[in-house]
Amino acid sequence: MIAITEWPILSLVEMIESIPQSTAMKVTEHFKKAKDKTLVSFEVLPPLKGGSMQAIFKTLDALMEFKPPFIDVTYHREEFIYNKRASGYYEKTSIRKRPGTVGICAAIMHRYGVDAVPHLICGGFSVEETENALIDLNFLGINNVLALRGDARQFEDKFTPEEDGHKYALDMVRQIAGMNEGRYLDANIINGEKTDFCIGVAGYPEKHFEAPNPVSDLQFTKAKVDAGAGYIVTQMFFDNRKYFEYVDACRKIGINVPIVPGLKPLTRRYQLNSIPRKFFVNLPEALVSEIQKAKTDEAAQQIGIEWCIQQSLELKAADVPCLHYYTMGNTDTSRAIAEAVV
């Protein structure tokens, strides 16, 4: 592997041409190829605007020895900021704080020869912009995508799609499945190129917070699978029983695709409150009481890592297809867990 400082500057074309042929496998093909072996994969966030791609490489350089077959890259919708003008009025400006998901995916495939899975969200996109983003991905040879709705903007109490954008992830899955059949928005395009996207979607062992009940939430998840999603990645959970019950409930209603557990270690004491508030998940009492006893964040992090290792080992023993870790840029914790699990 070359050192970061030796990283060559390549044109996009050179970059695409140099993506090894062995990559560009679908996530579902990786699961099939691994047979009963549990894979390990990671999710990374694009750097904040003004930040450097080297931050992603630094994180991934440290994680590649665990041989993840694919890396997810999140997408972040625009946010509004308010700038005070000389007149005293505030001007509302829209900014994307973490742009670059598509470019980062191409760079990851080029540098490491592993597949990259860009997250695409409905929020902030018209259906045409979604189509154009998918065309870019197709041209780059990126044929995996995690189709998501996205959350409400900060300061908005509910998700509002663009006027000509998708309301639910299901609508985006249908659009991608349509492109896989050669259907584009412009009805005049006859015999359009058939894309070949492998589509992943989100699932919620503890129910999506807006769903009126778990049954309703599961039915909508099933609709995403029936529309063409090939696998599900779950929201984080801290009690494996929630995952096992969720998989059972999915199987009972005919969701038969792989269900990948998403995992994140608790690393700070304040997360006892922030994680349930932000992600709408419960923290088991045994974990909470251990963290409450921790005198420092470092001690809390050790407890969180150990908890996540035990979760991972139990899931691995149950032959889950893949353990998917939300790194949140925290390389050390991800490494410590992967070292104990792989």
* Residues of this chain that bind ligand FAD (CB under 6 A): 74-77, 119, 121, 148-151, 168-170, 202, 208, 210-211, 216-217, 220, 233, 235, 262
Residue 188 CA neighbour count, 13 Å, CB half: 0
Q: What contacts 89, CB < 8 A, 6 or more positions away?
A: none
Length of the chain: 342
Tokens of residue 335, six digits: 């490494």
- d(CA 28, CA 242) in angstroms, rounded, equals 23
CB distance 137 to 193 below 8 Å: no
Instruction: Tell me how far the alpha carbon of residue 168 is from its chain's centroid.
Output: 16
Tell me whether residue 151 or residue 297 sits nearer to ligand FAD (CB atom): 151
Q: What's the closest the beta carbon of residue 142 comes to ligand FAD, in angstroms?
A: 15
Nearer to ligand FAD, 30 or 76 (CB): 76
Q: Least CB distance from residue 289 to ligand FAD, whole Å?
A: 27
**CA-to-CA distance for 66 and 336, rounded, in angstroms?**
11
State which residue, 263 or 300, has the beta carbon closest to ligand FAD.
263
* Rounded least distance, CB 136 to ligand FAD, Å: 17
Tell me the closest approach of the beta carbon of residue 216 to ligand FAD, in angstroms: 6
C-beta atoms surrounding 289 within 10 Å: 9
- Pick 192 or 222: Cβ nearer ligand FAD: 222
CB of 207 to ligand FAD, least distance (A): 8
Among all chains, which residue has been given the structure tokens 């059949």?
181
Nearest approach, Cβ of 168 to ligand FAD (angstroms)?
Answer: 4
Minimal distance, residue 23 CB to ligand FAD, in Å = 21
Residue 269 or 324: which CB sits closer to ligand FAD?
324
**Cβ-based nearer residue to ligand FAD, 173 or 300:** 173
**Nearer Cβ to ligand FAD, position 4 or 152?**
152
Strands (DSSP E) contained in the chain are 39-44, 70-73, 79-84, 90-95, 115-121, 144-148, 198-203, 231-234, 259-260, 262-263, 322-326
Q: Which is nearer to ligand FAD, 38 or 300 (CB)?
A: 38
Phi, psi dihedral angles at 147 (to 5 degrees):
-95, 120
Residue type, 98: R
Rounded Cα distance between 295 and 304, Å, is 14
CB of 202 to ligand FAD, least distance (A): 3
Distance CA 33, CA 183 (A): 30
Task: Enter the DSSP assignment of 327.
Answer: -
Q: What is the DSSP letter of 192?
A: P
